[in-house]
Structure 1
Amino acid sequence: MIGERLGDEVLNERIQTDDESLGRRRYLVTKQRAVERSLERWRQGLKADWHLLSRDDVASMAFVAGELWATLSRDEWEQMHFSKLGLHETRVIVAHADRLRHGARREETLEQVMRLIEQARVRSEQAMRGGEGG
């Protein structure tokens, strides 16, 4: 009887651990897919300028996108328009990624990145409206 209870406890603990592992794995896969989609949009927005970026730059971009994904609500994440970023903003974001990796003011740095993305979106919308009248 005691052996059965101990066996049940071990089994329940194993199931709970498996559920936790599965949950972590699901989270990581979802995050990875979101980051890959954001990089694809970023690449499409940069067009030929994408080839001016190094592998390290792209890794830094993925890191920042992952940090944003982990920090933002899903609605906020969906409002991130990576395709509107130009080469200059991208290079600034890569520099922010380097600071983030070294633990420098995480929250402030992510806010600066979000501000750059938002400014690029607004600028793009203004350019489209300006082009409609001419």
Structure 2
Amino acid sequence: MPEVTQAELGRRLYHVHRGKTVESSMKLMQQGIGADWKLLSEAEIMLLSHLLQCTWNKIDQKVWDKIPFMTMNMETVKKILSYGDGVRPGKNPSPEAVEEIRKILLAVR
């Protein structure tokens, strides 16, 4: 079994933590949006997760934890998804798109 460096272990833990945090946030969004959540395709949900994970990197954890994801509506989700053009695994959104998503999230009340 190959040796895993401390740096690699740290990266893996970071990615796991980021994924779990975004997953929890998306569950809150789903609860808040209710039945309309089913209007999102599987591809849109995967894209939303990818966009949120990229944005999570740019928001302090304490700030992220205070975002009221449960109050988000479908209009806000669609606005976030609009920044996902061309985004896919291995192709992240532009820094400008991440900044716009960050602004959207921080404006949620």
Instruction: Tell me the TM-score normalized by structure 2.
Output: 0.80
Q: How does 1:1-134 map to 2 (within 5 A)?
A: 18-98=5-85, 105-106=94-95, 108-121=96-109
Displaced runs of 4 or more, over 6 A? none
**C-alpha contact 1:68 1:77 (8 A) present in aligned 2:** no
Shift of 1:76: 2.0
Rg larger for:
1
Q: Give TM-score, length-normalised by structure 1.
A: 0.67
Unaligned runs of 5+ in 2: none
Sort the Cα spacing of 1:119 and 1:28 in 2 relative to 1 into closer, same or farther, 3 A: closer
Deviation (angstroms), 1:81? 2.2
Report the alpha carbon displacement of residue 63 of structure 1 after superposing the two structures with TM: 0.9
Question: What number of residue pairs does the alignment pair up?
Answer: 105
Aligned-residue sequence identity (percent) comes to 25
**Change beyond 3 A, Cα 1:95–1:31:** same
Residues 38 and 25 from structure 1, CA distance in 2 versus in 1: closer, same or farther, beyond 3 angstroms? same
- Is the helix fraction higher in 1 or 2? 1
